[in-house]
Amino acid sequence: MATKKKKSKLRFYIVVGLIAFFSIYIIGFFAASKIDKKEEDNKLVREENVADSTLPLLSQLESSRKVYISDKKTDTNIKIEKDRWTDYKYYFNEFSRVRNAISFEPTYSGYSSNGIKFSTDLDFLKVYTVEKEEFYKIPVSQKKDFEKVINESIYTSFDFAINDKKWKSVHISKGQDVKNIHKWKYNNLVSKMRYKRHVGKVQPEKARDKSKYNYSVYIDGEGFSIRIDTMGPNYIKIISGKNGEYVAYYEVYNDMYKYIKENIFKE
């Protein structure tokens, strides 16, 4: 009887040992596979970076995921929306590379998430890093349109619109009913201005037509004026420029609409 118990225990320990062995083997195998996969991915990234570094700086700039721009008025870096960046790239294809610029005093400057910087005086585009630089001639026929793309990306950007440090006066209207906003309430208004994404005009215009209440926020700042129209609770339209020539639509959270409706106009 004792011998049978010893044999049973021995079998038990053998089975447990085998299970433990294969468990450790399987875990080790998958761990090694993950390490190899990670090393392979890192190798591909390194190779991709090497390949990218051989491309012209303008091509590297075009492939950037995030790009920021500013001018002398803004003194803040404005993120360029993805579809706006597509407009930039359209014009880049029209520029011709030259050895250098005869004279160059940039009006606009920017940088990208991959370390490429750029600036333009609307005669030339300079793309550069610490190590090298490239110059591109902007065709005379493209200057005005390219300038509009730049100004629209800056002065209708959400980042620019909510920079209350640049605000001098604000009033909000609903038809003939106008409410002046005191400076100490600027921060309250800005805290309610949150956007989801840049959108086209079709849905916002439809939403505006369906909305019972719509409001216009007029912001006068240092060398600029902006109007923000609510288009129902979920969309806004930002208008700027001397003649309102710069326009952008955004899908937003309804915080601003509710704040204006309930706190400013008490509706």
| pLDDT score, position 124 | 96
| pLDDT score, position 45 | 41
Tell me the pTM. 0.76
Q: Where are the domains of the chain?
A: 1-54, 57-153, 158-264
State the average pLDDT over residues 5-32.
57
| pLDDT score, position 16 | 55
Strands in 246-252's sheet, in edge-to-edge order, are: 177-181, 167-174, 216-221, 224-230, 235-240, 246-252, 195-199
Q: Per residue in 96-131, is it b (16+ CB within 10 Å) or e — as a string?
A: eeeeebeeeebebbbbbeeebbbbbebebbbbeeee
Question: 15 pLDDT exceeds 60?
Answer: no
**130-170 pLDDT tens trace:** 999 999 999 999 999 999 999 999 999 998 999 998 899 99
| pLDDT score, position 75 | 72
**35-86 pLDDT tens trace:** 454 554 454 344 344 436 678 999 999 999 999 999 987 778 999 999 999 9
Query: 14 pLDDT band (50/70/90 cuts)?
Result: low
Query: 232 pLDDT band (50/70/90 cuts)?
Result: very high
Question: 190 pLDDT exceeds 60?
Answer: yes
CB under 8 Å to 247, separation ≥6 — which residues?
A: 152, 156, 201, 237, 238, 239
| pLDDT score, position 27 | 63
CB under 8 Å to 88, separation ≥6 — which residues?
A: 67, 80, 149, 150, 153
Short-list 88, 53, 91, CA closest to 69: 88
Per CATH, is 158-264 categorized as 3.30.479? no
Rounded to 5°, the CA angle 182-185-186 comes to 95
233 alpha carbon, distance to own chain's centre: 23
Question: 92 pLDDT exceeds 50?
Answer: yes
| pLDDT score, position 102 | 81
Torsion of CA 203, 205, 207, 209, to 10 degrees: -150
| pLDDT score, position 46 | 42
**181: part of which helix (H) or strand (E)?**
strand 177-181
